[in-house]
Chains A and B, each alone.
Chain A
Amino acid sequence: MADQFAVTYVPGMDSGEIPPSPVDRDEKTAFIYSLVDPVWDIDVLPLTYTNSRWSAFFYRADEKRLRRVVPDCMDVEDDVVEHWYVDHRNTMLGPYGEWGLTVAVSHKAGDGKTYYAGYYPYMYLTQDSAIDAGRVLGFPKKEAFIRTLEHFGNPDDGYGVYDGKDWKFNQFSFLMIRNGYVIHSAIGKYNDAELSAKPAFYGNTEYGRMNMKVVTAPDLSKSEWQLVYLPSLVDKGLATAMGRPETEGSHRFQVKPESIRTASPENIEWFQQATPFDNMGAELPVGEMIGLMTFSFDLIIPAGQTLWTETYTRDATWAGAAKPYRYGLRHRFPKPVGLGA
Chain B
Amino acid sequence: MGQIVDVTSTPWIDSGDAPPLALDRDKRDIISQGVADPLVDYDIVPLTYTNSRWSAFFYRASEADLKHVLPKCLDLEDDVIEFWYVDHLHTGLGPYGEFGLTVAASHKAGDGKTYYGGYYPYMYLTQDAAVFAGREPFGFPKKIAYIVTQEHGGKEDDGYGGFGNDYFNFTMERRGYLIHTATGRYDDAELPAKPAFYGDPSYGRMNLRLITDPSLKTTKWDLTYLPSEVTKATAAAMGRPETEGQHRFQLKPESIRTASAGAIRSWALQGTPFDNMGAMLPVKEMIGLMTFSFDLIIPGADTIWTQTIERTDEDIADLLFATPYVYTGRQRFPKPPGV
Contact = CB atoms under 8 A, between A and B. Distances in A.
Interface of A: 1-12, 17-19, 21, 23, 27-39, 41-48, 50, 68-69, 71, 90-97, 120-123, 126-129, 131-132, 135-138, 140-147, 177-179, 211-221, 223, 225-226, 228, 237, 240-244, 265-274, 276, 278-283, 285-286, 289, 298, 300, 303-306, 312-314, 316, 318-322, 324-325, 327-341
B262 A1 contact: yes
B105 interface: no
Nearest to A182: B7
Interface stretch (B35-43, B109-117, B187-195): B35-43
B270 A23 contact: no
Contact of B270 (A5, A33, A240, A267): A5
Contacts of B208: 33-35
Contact of B324 (A48, A147, A237, A314): A48
A279 B282 contact: no
B331 A92 contact: yes
A202 to B, nearest CB: 22
B57 to A, nearest CB: 11
A279 B3 contact: no
B162 interface: no
Given A95-B333, A143-B144, A215-B211, A45 B322 contact: yes
Given A145-B339, A328-B17, A6 B136 contact: no
Contact of A338 (B120, B126, B286): B126
Contact of A218 (B12, B45, B224): B224
B66 to A, nearest CB: 11
B264 A286 contact: no
Contacts of A319: 45-46, 237-238
Given A94-B333, A140-B34, A338 B144 contact: yes
Nearest to B240: A324
Contacts of A2: 262, 264-266
A7 B331 contact: no
A227 to B, nearest CB: 10
Interface stretch (B75-83, B85-93, B151-159): B85-93
A6 B18 contact: no
A266 B311 CA distance: 53
Q: Do most interface residues of chain B lie in helix, strand or loop, or is the interface mixed? A: mixed
A129 B91 CA distance: 24
B321 to A, nearest CB: 4
Interface string B258-273: 0001101111111111
B213 to A, nearest CB: 7
Contact of A138 (B12, B45, B207, B214): B214
Contact of A322 (B21, B47, B276): B47
20 contacts: A10-B279, A34-B120, A34-B121, A35-B141, A37-B122, A140-B35, A141-B39, A143-B144, A218-B222, A225-B27, A241-B320, A266-B2, A276-B10, A282-B8, A303-B216, A306-B215, A322-B48, A325-B295, A338-B126, A338-B174
Given A131-B128, A136-B212, A285-B6, A321 B42 contact: yes
Interface string B306-335: 000101010111111110110111111111
Interface string B118-138: 001111001111011001111
Nearest to B266: A3
A303 B214 contact: yes
Best-surrounded residue of B8, B17, B213, B336 (most CB of chain A within 10 A): B336
A81 to B, nearest CB: 13
A269 B311 CA distance: 50
A33 B141 contact: yes
A91 B315 contact: no
A200 to B, nearest CB: 20
